[in-house]
Chain A
Amino acid sequence: MSVSAPSVKPPRRVGDRLFAGAAQGAALIIMLALAGVFVFLFIEGLPGLHADERIYQPATNFASYVGPLVYGTVLAAVVALVIAVPFAIGVALFISHYAPPRIAAPIAYVIDLLAAVPSVVYGLWGGLALGQATKPVINWLYDNLDFIPFFAGPPSVTGRTMLTAGIVLAIMVVPITTAISREVFAQTPRLHEEAAMALGATRWETIRLAVFPYAKSGLVSAVMLGLGRALGETMAVAMVLSATPIVTLNLISDTNPATIASNIASNYKEASPDRQAVLIATGLVLFAVTFAVNFLARLVVARSERGVTR
């Protein structure tokens, strides 16, 4: 910061020291908690990496057990984000820049309501109402676009497909991503925007030139938080998805890979000790997946932000 590095250090005040200590302490607590979770997963999950063959049924070893799950987790998250992110950013822009200020706040409030719906209800709604509603759509996709591997079919007769699960996850992601994005958009310095307007830019050009560059890092954070929800969601996916250990691009059939989180949730209850260990080991793998995704995202942001200063 530009005010730092004065030649004589000012005396540190008690309040300053306390405050800095509290802040550092909070960071340390988070570190400890997470280290705790990691150690717990590691100790409990280690035996699951090489258990008896029959434990992994219908797969035969840990790699073939967790493989379809990792694939399913990533696929579901990708489908969800592909659907959710454009909508979330659109809605955030609508609230921050398009809607009349007087109704923007109520609209934001209404969208936040989506975050309030318990995931069990999302599961019920997705499995019953949405699944039924997607049936004509997936039949149409199968009839007309079955040369695309995503729609290779045969279409599910119950509508409980990866597509449905992706839509449900997308709807769960939208409020989180929207809320953070709109706060970020709303914080854009007014002067930048007014300068752009004054130069004759249209509203869209203003957003593209003055708002997006400023909001980029915040948007990535917003998407990452949404992604976290998509990766870690258990009940809704478990209730919506017709899951089986298989790797497929097909989004509209009744054979879909489960996600790691939903697989833990649905199988932990009845699991014997050995299988519990396997499930916890898959939780470790999910950590790795989450880390990899976040790491990549940070890398992308860092690269694109080089030279752009705020």
Chain B
Amino acid sequence: MSTTTPLERDFAVSAGLVQPKLPRGAGLLVAVLALGVSGLLALLLGWNPVGGLVLAAVLFVIGFPLWSALLEGRRSAVDRLATSLVCLAFGVVLVPLVWLIWMVVSKGLSAISIQFLTYDMRGALAHGGGIYHALIGTLLVTLAATIISVPIGIFAAIYLVEYGKGNRLARVTTFLVDVMTGIPSIVAGLFALALLVLIFGPAIRIGFGGSIALSLLMIPTVVRSTEEMLRLVPSDLREASYALGVPKWRTISKMVVPTAIGGIVTGVVLAISRVIGETAPLLIVAGNTDSLNWNLFNGRMMTLPVYIFQQYSSPGVLPAGEVGDPPGYARAWGAALVLIVIVMLLNLGARIIGKIFAPPTDRRR
């Protein structure tokens, strides 16, 4: 194509050999035009910039396919429309993301210091104190929840896909997992507490109870995402493996699971992200304390979400003479920032692990 001169191409178009095509920079051109027109309108009519941006997006989504329809025909126009809608969707989703992150960072960054990360709240009032106890608590509780729910979730999904095949246990499990996705987190907490009280008596409040509650919330996400990913593994792979005489369990563990590992890891990370910020169940079962506790099985354990919630809902007052927001707010935002960073690192780690163990495939990414 690159060797054809413009003259030859014009000839080819008029002879009906080649579809006419929009020039390369067409999208950019329409985008600039849309922005310019709406910017001018917004300026003239005194709209706020957000209104102008919305108008620009609408103009682009209408204008670009329209041009294409006039020049290239209906099929191309639909394709252009889909492309612009997909890109637009992505752009719009970035807005709340950037907004949220900016809000947390701008409000939380000032609270972060070495002391904030290495002190607990013993003896801390309006000033001082930190999140060390909550940080350790969150890591331990979530780790234990992950250790409980990931094997159960993955094995259950393997059962559903590879062994169950529509028998009664598989159907009941699928049904239960479906129902489980909508458990309000507080109910999971109440259940975990009731379970522990049944065994250890009423005064029991331990970090591990929080792990139980969180795993109830994690399992459905792990099972459902893993199930989907396993189903997508082509049957040819399994059949090829069986044909070579490989036992079923080795086929699953060496063939099926590694093929789907990227998706499974995504599901697990999603499940962790989903529960690591849960407040209500942890407050009920793991309790609230100012002190550091390394033992999941003895005594209350502070966690970051509970810390955030407590600092936000009981922020205290500044000492007389100081003005500003109550002291709890800055701590709450700082802790929220730390929590997000933890999940970020976790996500990154999980992706690296997924990459290492995944077999080379023709997947797009």
Question: Which residues on B sit within 8 Å (CB–CB) of A96?
Answer: 364-365
Partner of A34, one of B86, B179, B235: B179
B89 adjacent to A94 (CB under 8 Å): yes
Distance to closest chain A CB from B90 (angstroms): 4
Partner of A180, one of B178, B191, B267, B336: B267
Binary flags per residue of B71-104, CB closer than 8 Å to A gives 1, else 0? 0000110110111011111101110110111011
Cα–Cα distance between A18 and B172 once the two chains are bound (Å): 22
B336 adjacent to A260 (CB under 8 Å): no
Q: Number of B residues whose C-beta is below 8 Å from A?
A: 114
Contact of B184 with A by CB under 8 A? yes
A104 adjacent to B365 (CB under 8 Å): yes
B88 adjacent to A90 (CB under 8 Å): yes
Interface residues of A in 195-235 (CB under 8 A from B): 202-205, 207, 217-218, 221-222, 224-225, 227-229, 231-235
In the complex, identify which listed stretch (A149-157, A248-256, A261-269) lies at the interface while the others stay far away: A261-269
A227 adjacent to B181 (CB under 8 Å): yes
Question: Which residues on B sit within 8 Å (CB–CB) of A29?
Answer: 152, 156
A286 adjacent to B182 (CB under 8 Å): yes
Chain B residue nearest to A206 in the complex (CB): B79
Task: Using known A-B contacts A31-B176, A205-B79, determine if residue A290 contacts B169 with beta carbons closer than 8 Å.
Answer: no
Partner of A265, one of B93, B158, B184, B228: B184
Cα–Cα distance between A283 and B281 once the two chains are bound (Å): 14
Question: Which residues on B sit within 8 Å (CB–CB) of A44?
Answer: 190, 194
Contact of B186 with A by CB under 8 A? yes
B363 adjacent to A187 (CB under 8 Å): yes
Partner of B179, one of A107, A119, A125, A291: A291
Question: Which residues on A sit within 8 Å (CB–CB) of B183?
Answer: 37, 232, 287
A98 adjacent to B249 (CB under 8 Å): no
Binary flags per residue of A104-131, CB closer than 8 Å to B gives 1, else 0? 1101111111111111111011000110
A224 adjacent to B181 (CB under 8 Å): yes
A229 adjacent to B93 (CB under 8 Å): no
Contact of A289 with B by CB under 8 A? yes
Interface residues of B in 78-134 (CB under 8 A from A): 78-79, 81-83, 85-90, 92-94, 96-97, 99-101, 103-104
Question: Which residues on A sit within 8 Å (CB–CB) of B221?
Answer: 176, 225
In the complex, identify which listed stretch (B4-12, B21-29, B36-44, B239-247) lies at the interface while the others stay far away: B239-247
Question: Which residues on A sit within 8 Å (CB–CB) of B177?
Answer: 30
Question: Which residues on B sit within 8 Å (CB–CB) of A114?
Answer: 93, 96-97, 100
B305 adjacent to A111 (CB under 8 Å): no
Q: Number of A residues whose C-beta is below 8 Å from B?
A: 111
Cα–Cα distance between A91 and B94 once the two chains are bound (Å): 10
B239 adjacent to A2 (CB under 8 Å): yes
Task: Using known A-B contacts A30-B156, A116-B344, determine if residue A180 contacts B170 with beta carbons closer than 8 Å.
Answer: no
In the complex, identify which listed stretch (A19-27, A47-55, A60-68) lies at the interface while the others stay far away: A19-27
Distance to closest chain B CB from A40 (angstroms): 5
B156 adjacent to A27 (CB under 8 Å): yes
B155 adjacent to A186 (CB under 8 Å): no
Interface residues of A in 138-188 (CB under 8 A from B): 171, 174-176, 178-180, 183-184, 186-187
A228 adjacent to B220 (CB under 8 Å): yes
Question: Which residues on B sit within 8 Å (CB–CB) of A229?
Answer: 181, 274
A-side binding surface: helix, strand, loop or mixed?
Answer: helix
In the complex, identify which listed stretch (B160-168, B290-298, B315-323) lies at the interface while the others stay far away: B160-168
Contact of A101 with B by CB under 8 A? yes
A183 adjacent to B312 (CB under 8 Å): no
Task: Using known A-B contacts A109-B351, A118-B336, determine if residue A125 contacts B186 with beta carbons closer than 8 Å.
Answer: no
Contact of A58 with B by CB under 8 A? no
B186 adjacent to A264 (CB under 8 Å): yes
Cα–Cα distance between A10 and B340 once the two chains are bound (Å): 51
Chain A residue nearest to B229 in the complex (CB): A183
A26 adjacent to B159 (CB under 8 Å): yes
Chain B residue nearest to A90 in the complex (CB): B89
Cα–Cα distance between A23 and B339 once the two chains are bound (Å): 33
Interface residues of B in 238-265 (CB under 8 A from A): 238-239, 242-243, 247-250, 252-253, 260, 262-263
Question: Which residues on B sit within 8 Å (CB–CB) of A202?
Answer: 75-76, 78-79
Distance to closest chain A CB from B305 (angstroms): 5
B190 adjacent to A289 (CB under 8 Å): no
Interface residues of A in 1-57 (CB under 8 A from B): 1-3, 13, 15-16, 18-20, 22-31, 33-37, 40-41, 44
Instruction: Beyond the given A98-B83, A112-B270, A290-B178, please list 12 additional residue pairs across the A-B interface where CB-CB is below 8 A.
Output: A24-B163, A94-B87, A94-B90, A98-B87, A109-B347, A112-B269, A113-B101, A113-B344, A116-B340, A118-B277, A121-B277, A203-B83
* 3 nearest A-B pairs in the assembled complex, by CB-CB distance: A90-B89, A228-B181, A118-B277
Residue pairs across A and B with Cβ atoms less than 8 A apart, 17 shown, are A1-B235, A2-B239, A16-B249, A23-B162, A30-B180, A40-B191, A94-B90, A96-B365, A104-B365, A107-B90, A112-B269, A118-B308, A121-B340, A129-B99, A204-B83, A205-B78, A217-B228
